Chain A
């Protein structure tokens, strides 16, 4: 093989400085780069050479890059292309490039030199290794600067490795020839890469150990309890044997040692000899606990496993009531395996509990389901900091003092009979808890590495985030619309589109302009940080991902995002959604429930008169009070929003027309009974008018329904005014 057999790359770009940069970067990596200023030159070169890749600019002096690629494809020339342009392309252009022109990579200028090499190489087969004689020839030409470059690259790429530190010193200060030096540096680099790969695998293995070791303990115990249980014995010995070899190979030496001891001892155990086996059993259990402690220490040393990311979070359920029926439910096996249950017997203690602890569901049962204070209790739950959105379930007999509508008004989501089975109760809790997901923070992961996305989503899910992942970066805009995340975790190196470019794409859309973006990168040095910020990222996470760091960063950025979201979506005077947000959500709810759907609009009557007669402050109080009333009534899935200066809006899915009318009556009844104070201490009452529209009766598109509700409200106001006259 001669030097001319190096894999060839053709760069087609009229910018000489850029061509020079690319030539310099890729020649170093063992490629031969041919240059063309125009597509005409490029065609000539293409006819005479075989290329592994074309790097093509968009703006060229003769034909533009995209047209030229199209021409190549038409001529059935299918060589991989990296499209590299200074003009950012939109998603349609991108799709065109990827799907029609089959471009392997879309890169945006200015390029980051190191990243450029990395992504270019990611789409190419590695350059063939040179034979020994060629290597000798090549090495004879080694000059000092190459050694310097190799040395610095190792230092930069493996900043934390003690192997790198200790060996680099030795190599640089050795009296070897330069060829030998370079050889040793190259070997060191390969070793460091192996070390890094093994360390990544070790993190995963430590996760597995958290399950394997308890399994070993279980088998050993089973065998101790029953000496005839050969299966348990074989399992224990087999597992111990395996752990000895594997844990040791990851340099988890204490665990390997403990497993080795266990294997030996189990094999030397003679169950019929009571005296000696007594001693050996105590040793066995000592090693079992030593292994367990060592695993924990290793995990803590890695700083990544202080929480068990494999635990499925049980729904927390509060049972309120003292009847034997409720007690039996709360302690039944079906429920305790699926839920973490607490039981309180009075509304008062229940209230104290919901104020302090967050629950996924509250189940109210006899005798409290008939308690006169029930409606007051549910209202207090909605005011509590922790459980504003908690679903309330009611278990009651057929003889109820409260009507169905009254209970609906109180915000009960689910009605169950006294004969409800534990399984049905669990199903109801899980369904309602699932609906609550919309109040949790949502994180989207974009990474082509499924192992990593699985790991990261598991960690985030176990910490109460809703997580979705996307392995194809190009679908990101679609996914954003569909999933509506509050935070994005974005890998830098992905096929087709780099994370930096995905970020620029997102930032171009007003809706996602402010969403926090965290980059995942193996390059967390100063340059990597600079690139992340330049691309519009908020922060970066270094690979391998450490659980603690991940959680800390995600939670910080989500808090900020949440504050921003509240500012953007919530009406500050009443704490319900502002008009725009209400409309957006109501429309979304409509698209899923267009067969049974209602919009209710309210306007406070004679609002201007209240202002003139009782003062501005009284006006504010009336509005705030009605807002609070709406917030504390109806189940959480009912949308509540502000509608203009004196108005509000509600949106129900799956509620019958008759029930809606009665609910509105109850609301008006409660509101008009409230007493307000004017500026001079005089008291007054207030009322409101309502306009309701329903699907499918009043329309089949959202705008129709909205306008119909407005019309009905105006009609009702008008009617009231004529009546007053």
Chain B
């Protein structure tokens, strides 16, 4: 296998590193951060989870009124499908987070 120094020249690598240090964050991101100073990653996750729980509660209510004959079959199906995709997103995101956490825990120091 070729040595890495023959594939990448050292000066090109250090040049790329220097230019990466001078990169400014995208203007949109900076503005968002200024508008919501307390918004952290944990806050974002909490908001998303709150929305998901809200959708689940709503479809629960519709499913119950469907059983009681108050909501139409179509409404029940719509709410159930909305619930399905919300749960799917929530579970996928949780899996990703757990995976990332385990990755960090496995890191040998």
Do A and B originate from a single complex?
Answer: no
Chain B contacts to A: CB under 8 angstroms? none
Chain A contacts to B: CB under 8 angstroms? none
